[in-house]
């Protein structure tokens, strides 16, 4: 049984805090980080999480202690959900974490459940992670490690399926699409109970804070955003890797020195930025340029790829992934995607770019979830960073010379089947 009676292991010293050198079973996990430090009562862990300054790793960087407090203060029994849906197609880090350190996530889920006084616990994940988690849960059951049984649910591999109200909707037997708010799920979520939805990496970080304390957590990262974070990086020469880096690491150190025409920061709801030596992986640095760390996806677009074509492909994907419940998704995103496809093709109407710019303004700030806003953030940053290239495309030219895709999509959305002129 995990408890404070066992001597805790030494805290990890380098930036590799979450990801172990090799995938861990329960024995390796407990050897590495020690027993689960249950606090014995609801609320007791929250001051440590507040002192650590942990922010959510699922995209919005919301202070984790605040969400714990809100749910813990809710009426009646509460629910805790670990969100491993990872619907963003470019993001691999949650899958990598679940594969390598499933027990750290499960520890975090139990500790968060204890902190909010939950009586039900769920873990949502991709089909691929299911065997690892089922094995981990069997190991934990044998030594009665968990305070509450975990219900595991496989989420559909869709972009919106990981949005917190979509997760709650799915767990409640509905479709994995966002619910209209208010109320927030923290007030009335699964089975109308206050529900904590926390990203799996956030929970793994919480499990380490519970063991090694806020000061240790703050020894990496920057003051306003402490700790490490998992990233999925796509350097310009190609390939994709998941890595754990201190928050505040220079983006050039993450993406490498190979020439790139633009950096995509934060994934498909993120922002294209011109490569710049001074940029670092923290919201303080990125927000000054309209960017954010977001889902932790970082890509360097090589010089021989077309930013217009990449933007058109991703926007077509985002438009197709909408839940089609609200005006901006029903009317706005498909039109924008169609005009972008024209611009990426060989015979755009002369009004196509002006239409994209105008429609982008009509879509943002509306809709029941952040999907239209996130999609437009991505689009607008492309219009800024690839402005010259968009104008070239209006004139039916392309400087990249190839529409060969770079960014990953589940089904490669064809932009054009015609050759470049």
Ligand X SMILES: Cc1cc2nc3c(=O)[nH]c(=O)nc-3n(C[C@H](O)[C@H](O)[C@H](O)COP(=O)(O)O)c2cc1C
CA distance 207 to 106: 9
Contacts of ligand X in 337-366 (CB under 6 A): none
Q: What does the CA dihedral 91, 93, 96, 98 come to, rounded to 10 degrees? A: -110
393 binds ligand X (CB under 6 A): no
163 binds ligand X (CB under 6 A): yes
369 binds ligand SF4 (CB under 6 A): yes
User: Is the distance from CB of 98 to CB of 24 less than 8 angstroms?
Assistant: no
186 binds ligand X (CB under 6 A): no
- Closest approach of ligand X to the CB of residue 55, in Å: 8
- For ligand SF4, give the closer residue by CB, 302 or 367: 367
CB neighbour list of residue 14: distance below 8 Å, 6 or more residues apart: none
Choice from 67, 103, 371, 377 touching ligand SF4 (CB under 6 A): 371
1 binds ligand X (CB under 6 A): no
Choice from 370, 383, 405, 408 touching ligand X (CB under 6 A): 370
Residue count (the chain): 421
User: Is the distance from CB of 400 to CB of 328 less than 8 angstroms?
Assistant: no
Task: Give the one entry of ligand X, ligand SF4, none that residue 57 binds, where binding means its C-beta sits below a cut-off of 5 to 8 angstroms depending on kind.
Answer: ligand X
- For ligand X, give the closer residue by CB, 275 or 408: 408
- Closest approach of ligand SF4 to the CB of residue 178, in Å: 4
Dig out the tokens for 361 from the structure. 């303004």
- Closest approach of ligand SF4 to the CB of residue 371, in Å: 4
Of the candidate spans 80-88, 101-109, 184-192, 366-374, the one that interacts with ligand SF4 by CB under 6 A turns out to be 366-374
Contacts of ligand X in 187-226 (CB under 6 A): 197-199, 202
**Closest residue by Cα to residue 368 from 160, 171, 189, 194:** 160
Of the candidate spans 59-67, 132-140, 280-288, 317-325, the one that interacts with ligand SF4 by CB under 6 A turns out to be 317-325
Number of residues that bind ligand SF4 (CB under 6 A): 14
Of the candidate spans 186-194, 213-221, 266-274, 368-376, the one that interacts with ligand SF4 by CB under 6 A turns out to be 368-376
Choice from 160, 298, 306, 382 touching ligand X (CB under 6 A): 160
- Closest approach of ligand SF4 to the CB of residue 277, in Å: 37
Contacts of ligand X in 28-57 (CB under 6 A): 56-57
Contact code string over 69-88 relative to ligand X, x by CB under 6 A: --------------x-xxxx
Locate tokens 């009646």: which residue?
76
Choice from 59, 226, 328, 403 touching ligand X (CB under 6 A): 59
- Closest approach of ligand X to the CB of residue 293, in Å: 11
- For ligand X, give the closer residue by CB, 109 or 356: 109
Query: For residue 341, is the peptide bond before it cis, meaning its omega torsion is within 30 degrees of 0?
Result: no
Of the candidate spans 41-49, 316-324, 357-365, 391-399, the one that interacts with ligand SF4 by CB under 6 A turns out to be 316-324
329 binds ligand SF4 (CB under 6 A): yes
- Closest approach of ligand SF4 to the CB of residue 346, in Å: 31
- Closest approach of ligand X to the CB of residue 304, in Å: 31
- Closest approach of ligand X to the CB of residue 402, in Å: 30
Contact footprint for ligand SF4 (CB under 6 A): 160, 177-178, 322-326, 329, 367-369, 371-372
> Which residues contact ligand X (rule: CB under 6 A)?
56-60, 62, 83, 85-88, 160, 162-164, 197-199, 202, 369-371
């Amino acid at each position: 049984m995990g408890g404070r009676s066992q001597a805790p292991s030494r805290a990890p010293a380098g930036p590799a805090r979450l990801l172990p050198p090799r995938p861990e079973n329960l024995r390796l996990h407990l050897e590495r980080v020690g027993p689960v430090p249950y606090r014995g009562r609801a609320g007791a862990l929250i001051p440590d999480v507040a002192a650590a300054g942990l922010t959510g790793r699922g995209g919005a960087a919301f202070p984790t202690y605040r969400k714990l407090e809100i749910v813990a203060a809710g009426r009646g029994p509460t629910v805790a959900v670990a969100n491993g849906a990872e619907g963003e197609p470019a993001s691999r880090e949650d899958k990598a974490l679940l594969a390598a350190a499933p027990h750290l996530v499960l520890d975090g889920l139990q500790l968060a459940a204890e902190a909010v006084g939950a009586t039900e616990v769920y873990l949502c994940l991709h089909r691929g992670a299911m065997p690892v988690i089922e094995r981990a849960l069997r190991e934990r059951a044998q030594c009665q490690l968990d305070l509450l049984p975990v219900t595991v649910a496989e989420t559909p591999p869709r972009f919106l399926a990981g949005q917190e109200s979509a997760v709650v909707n799915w767990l409640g037997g509905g479709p994995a699409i966002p619910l209209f708010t208010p109320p927030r799920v923290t007030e009335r979520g699964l089975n109308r109970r206050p529900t904590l939805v926390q990203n799996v990496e956030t929970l793994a970080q919480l499990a380490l804070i519970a063991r090694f304390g806020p000061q240790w957590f703050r020894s990496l990262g920057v003051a306003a955003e402490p700790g490490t974070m998992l990233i999925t990086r796509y350097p310009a020469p190609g390939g994709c890797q998941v890595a754990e880096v201190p928050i505040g690491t220079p983006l050039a150190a993450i993406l490498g020195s190979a020439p790139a025409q633009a950096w995509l920061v934060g994934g498909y709801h993120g922002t294209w930025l011109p490569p710049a030596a001074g940029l670092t992986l923290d919201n303080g640095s990125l927000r000054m340029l309209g960017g954010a760390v977001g889902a932790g996806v970082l890509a360097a677009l090589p010089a021989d790829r077309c930013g217009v074509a990449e933007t058109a492909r991703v926007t077509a994907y985002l438009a197709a992934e909408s839940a089609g419940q609200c005006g901006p998704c029903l009317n706005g995103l498909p039109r924008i995607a169609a005009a972008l496809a024209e611009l990426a093709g060989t015979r755009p109407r002369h009004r196509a770019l002006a239409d994209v710019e105008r429609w982008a303004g009509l879509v943002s700030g509306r809709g029941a979830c952040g999907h239209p806003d996130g999609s437009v953030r991505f689009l607008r940053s492309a219009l800024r960073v690839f402005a010259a290239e968009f104008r070239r495309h209006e004139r039916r030219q392309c400087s990249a010379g190839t529409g060969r895709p770079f960014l990953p999509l589940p089904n490669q959305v064809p932009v054009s089947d015609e050759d470049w002129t």
